[in-house]
Amino acid sequence: MAPAVSCLLLAVLFAAACRVIISSDQMCTEKEVNKTYNCEYLGLREIPDTLPSTTENLEFSFNFLPTIQNTTFSRLINLIFLDVARCQINWLHEDTFQSHHQLNTIILTGNPLIFMAETSLNGPKFLKHLFFIQTGISNLEFIPVHNLENLESLYLGSNHFTSIELPTSFPSQNLKVLDFQNNAIHYLTKNNLDSLKKATNLSLNLIGNDIKGIEPGAFHLKSFQTLNFGGTFNLSVIFKGLQNSTIQSLWLGTFEDLEDQDITSAMLQGLCNMSVESINLQNHYFSDISPASFECLTQLQELDLTATHLQDLPSGIEGMNSLKKLVLNVNKFHQLCQINAANFPSLTHLYIKGNKNKLDLGAGCLERLENLQNLDLSHSYIEDSDCCNLQFRNLSHLRYLNLSYNKPLGLQSQAFRESPRLELLDLAVTHLRVSVPQSPFQNLHFLQILNLSYCLLDTSNPHLLAGLPDLRLLNLQGNHFKDGNIPKTNLLQTVGSLEILILAYCNLLSIDQQAFQGLEKLLHVDLSYNNLTGNSISALHHFKGTYLNLAANSISIMPLHVLPTLSQQSIINLNYNPLDCTCSNIHFLKWFKENLQKFEDLEEMVCATPPTLKGVKLCDVKLSCRITAVGIFFIVVFLFLFSILFILSVKFFLRWKYQHI
Amino acid sequence: MQGLMATLLVWALLHPGGGNVWPTHTVCRNDGLEILYQSCDPLQDFGFSIDQCSKQLKANLNIRFGMILREDIKELFLEAALISKGVSIFTLSYPICESDHPKFSFCGRRKGEQFYYSGPVNNAELEIPKGEYEVLLKLYNERRSILACANATVICY
């Protein structure tokens, strides 16, 4: 019994193992023909033979390659990008990449590296990006330097580094990104910084290292593209340590899960002795914010105060004439005037997104911002019964305005008269109250993009979109039309310059044949997720070369007369429709076979009827609607019997008639 | 013995490669509250615990969470659905990491990293009413790739 049991057990295990191996070979997914493959999470121990030697990008993470050597990838000599994250790699042996001249990125994240051979990275001519995140290394001597002359970025996060110092032999002349995220670096010395001297325009990331000390003069006359000290407990150390440096972008924010000290005006004085263009202080508290806090920020071009618990900004700040971009997202203003915008007269970009209190726009709060081009007030509980001329007074250079995800706004005719240069207006998911026949967007001569999705619009107002001569993209997703029908006279007739029209999720049942008359320039029409049938396609009869999305509608039988309309379009999506695959739809099915190249994503185009073909892909259906020999035989027999019957009855009728004469 | 073999055979046939049903873990079981969860990500399990477990949930709970990152988390979102007796009570979507506002210190970690978080979650105070609840949780990034998925059961006596 025992031997039999073990045999069976072995057989079962073997069968299971075989199945895994067989299936895994097949399971690498092709993301770009002959070039890009994804083989993640397949438990592979080697490169499958199915991958072509033309493979350029290989995502091979979460497999099992304890040792990699010159035979491991030898067949794939065209590799450009190789991701072997968490493959349990211990050893990188000699000449692993000897024949991979094109290789430019190697990702070794999450591998417990024990040793890399001196020549393990030799071969690639332009090795640019190396990821050694969480590989357990603590010393850069671990990485062989022979072929790193072209290195642009080196990621060393989540390791055991205590110093950022590069070995003297380390070729850093092309280095642009040096990332030490989440290590144990607490001190920066002059020697440390001097070792980076050869790298110009370097971005140095020290986020999650809690710097406790910087040697005086360490940053003297040093220049950086980006310096990130995110999560540092004591910012005074940083401000003191960066004296006489030049930094384009300085990131000093903190996080909800970390403790930090309040920022005082005295700390910010440190900024007077360095040159910084852009600074981020997210998530900090300010203990004594006053005009004096900004004394050393006058050279700044960008200031990000996201989630800094602000209820107002002080008035009377002077000298902030260079500031172009101000981010005040996720704060606690009650009134827009509380930001005292007049302090920042040169602003071109202002973001007050995600305000935690209901934000009252007030009147003319931004009127001193004559150069403002970009204003984001989304997600801020804004509610106003008459928007937006008083509120945005004098913003004559405004080009982008985002008021999406707010409370109801009432709009009158010419609601944006004060900002006639608007190019993009986003009002998505903000309930708009517009009474008929007002035209709130009248005279926005430069407006190109208008997002009105889920605005609960009164679509019966034919003047709603009047006065938009240059509008290219209109998003009306999620708005409803009376009786689910777009009639002959509708709000789209005033926007003849439209190129992209989105009418998805509008509960549409039908579209009048003349409804899109006048829209001659359309290139992209999205009618997905409605309840349209094949007949509605007649409304598109005058479009040519359009991308047409009809996914998730109620199209079953495609009428013969709409096929020429479909033929004129460039790409069509008919996925998730209850398509009929019987002979009643034979014209469409035939036409479909001849026009496969027009269809987007054939995988999801399946039959709904007849029950026998339910779920079958349309491109796999072979339908024959000719009459079969048996059918012809029965018809002949039927006709024959019918004629005999007819002759007999005529005969009988005549005989009956003559007998009665 | 025959029965055992048959069971084994059926099991082996139904679960090629070992199967991917993860064990159900207990977060806590005391003070009239029981919380259980199971990973619904076919590729991996994860570890989770709460520092305090009572019907009267304190604000700003501390949690511990450990997993391997399947994707970069420059952007990370949480989706939660609460279901009671088969009826959906609410769903919420919450941004944890956004490129213009990384709320937590772990934002920006990379695919393949082992990830451990121990700290506050910034929740509101909440008293859990009696009953049994299903909670579906999903963590995903900007490409909607799933990082973690959990089916949790909360039983409150």
User: Where does A568-628 have alpha helices with state H?
Assistant: 586-594
A440 touches chain B (CB under 8 A): no
Among A12, A85, A329, beta carbon nearest to B8: A12
pTM, full prediction: 0.87
Q: Would A632 be classed as within a structural domain?
A: yes
Distance from CA of A9 to the nearest CA of B (A): 8
Reduce the DSSP state of residue B100 to 3 states and report it. coil
Q: What is the rounded CA–CA span in Å between residue B106 and residue A182?
A: 9
Note which residues in 62-121 of chain B have CB less than 8 A from chain A: 68, 70, 100-105, 107-114, 117, 119-120
In-domain check, residue A8: yes
Q: How far is A319 from chain B (nearest CA, A)?
A: 27
Position A8 scores a pLDDT of 41
Look at chain A and report how many structural domains it folds into.
Answer: 1
pLDDT at B16: 42
Question: How many whole angstroms separate alpha carbon A341 and alpha carbon B114?
Answer: 45
Give the residue numbers spanning the domain of A10: 2-16+625-659
Interface contact flag, B113 A13, Cβ < 8 Å? no
- Encode pLDDT of A595-641 as tens digits: 999 998 888 899 998 898 898 898 888 877 766 666 677 777 888 88
pLDDT of residue B4: 46
| Chain B residues near residue A255 by CB distance under 8 angstroms | 102-105, 107
In angstroms, the separation between the Cα of residue B157 and the nearest Cα of chain A is 32
Q: Radius of gyration (Cα) for chain B, nearest Å?
A: 18
Chain B: residue whose CA lies nearest to A111: B112
Count of C-beta atoms within a 10 Å radius of residue A167: 12
Please spell the DSSP secondary structure of A468-501, one letter per residue. -TT--EEE-TT---GGGEE-SS-GGGG-TT-SEE
Candidates B7, B67, B93, B105: best to mutate against A (most CBs of A within 10 A) is B105
Nearest-CB residue to A110 (from B102, B105, B113):
B113
Average pLDDT, chain A: 91
**Closest partner CB to A16 (pick from B12, B103, B114):** B12
The backbone torsions φ and ψ at residue B68, rounded to the nearest 5 degrees and listed phi first, read: -105, 135
The residues, any chain, with a CB within 8 Å of residue A506's CB and separated by 6 or more, are A476, A477, A478, A479, A480, A481, A530
State residue A392's pLDDT score: 95
Cβ contacts (< 8 Å) between A230 and chain B: which residues?
102, 105
Using a CB-CB distance cutoff of 8 angstroms, which residues of chain A are in contact with residue B113?
A: 109-110, 133-134, 157-158
Residues in chain A within 8 Å Cβ distance of B102: 230, 253, 255, 282
CB contact (8 A) between residue B119 and residue A257:
yes
Per-residue pLDDT reduced to its tens digit, A541-578:
999 999 999 999 999 999 999 999 999 999 999 999 99
Which of chain B's residues have a Cβ under 8 Å away from the Cβ of A207? 105, 108
Q: Do B100 and A19 touch (CB under 8 A)?
A: no
In terms of Cα–Cα distance, which of A264, A212, A214, A219 is closest to A233?
A: A212
- CA nearest to A113, candidates A81, A80, A86: A86
Judging contacts by C-beta atoms under 8 Å, the chain A residues touching residue B101 are: 282, 306-307, 329-330
**A283: chain B residues, CB-CB within 8 Å:** 103
Radius of gyration of chain A (CA): 35
The answer to whether the CB atoms of B108 and A257 lie below 8 A apart is: no
Q: Is the pLDDT of residue B11 over 50?
A: no
Q: Do A155 and B43 touch (CB under 8 A)?
A: no
Angle subtended by helix axes A2-27 and B2-14, to nearest 10: 0
- Give the CA angle between residues A17, A18, A22 to the nearest 5°: 120
Task: Residue A352: name the closest of A363, A364, A362, A339 by CA.
Answer: A339
Q: Minimal Cα–Cα distance from A217 to chain B, Å?
A: 29
The answer, yes or no, to whether residue B8 has pLDDT greater than 70, is: no
Q: How far is A69 from chain B, CA to nearest CA, in Å?
A: 21
Q: Do B122 and A256 touch (CB under 8 A)?
A: yes
Q: Which residues in chain A have their CB less than 8 angstroms from residue B105's CB?
A: 207-208, 230-231, 255, 257-258
- Chain A residues in contact with B111 (beta carbon < 8 A): 61, 83, 85, 109
Q: Domains, chain B, ranges and CATH?
A: 20-156 (2.60.40.770)
DSSP A332-371: --SBGGGG-GGG-TT-SEEE--S-SSPPB--SSTTTT-TT
- Find residues 114-153 of chain B whose CB sits inside 8 Å of chain A: 114, 117, 119-120, 122
Closest-CA distance of chain B to residue A226, Å: 16
Task: Tell whether A100 is covered by a domain.
Answer: no
Residue A566 lies inside a defined structural domain of this protein: no
Chain A residues whose beta carbon lies within 8 Å of the beta carbon of residue B17: 16, 19-20, 43
Question: Which chain A residue shows the shortest CA-CA distance from B43?
Answer: A41
CA dist A406 and A359 (Å) reads 10
Instruction: Please report whether residue A575 resides in a domain.
Output: no
How would DSSP label each residue in A54-114? T--EEE--SS--SEE-TTTSTT-TT-SEEE-TTS---EE-TTTTTT-TT--EEE-TT----
- Residues A324, A278, A423: CA angle, nearest 5 degrees: 35
Residues 291-320 of A with CB under 8 A from B: 306-307
Supply B42's token pair. 């076919």
Contact A85 B104 (CB under 8 A): no
A25 to chain B: which residues are within 8 Å by CB?
A: none
Question: For chain A, which residues score pLDDT lower than 70?
Answer: 1-26, 626-631, 661
- Per residue in A209-268, pLDDT (tens digit) is 999 999 999 999 999 999 999 999 999 999 999 999 999 999 999 999 998 889 999 999
**Nearest CB to A181; choose among B12, B103, B108:** B108
Q: What is the DSSP string of A295-332?
A: GGGTT-SEEE-TTS--S---S------S--EEE--S--
Taking the CA of residue B71 and the nearest CA in chain A, the distance in Å comes to 11
Q: Does A183 touch chain B if contact means CB atoms closer than 8 Å?
A: no
Is residue A105, in this structure, part of any structural domain at all? no
Query: What tokens appear for A601 in the block?
Result: 């994503």
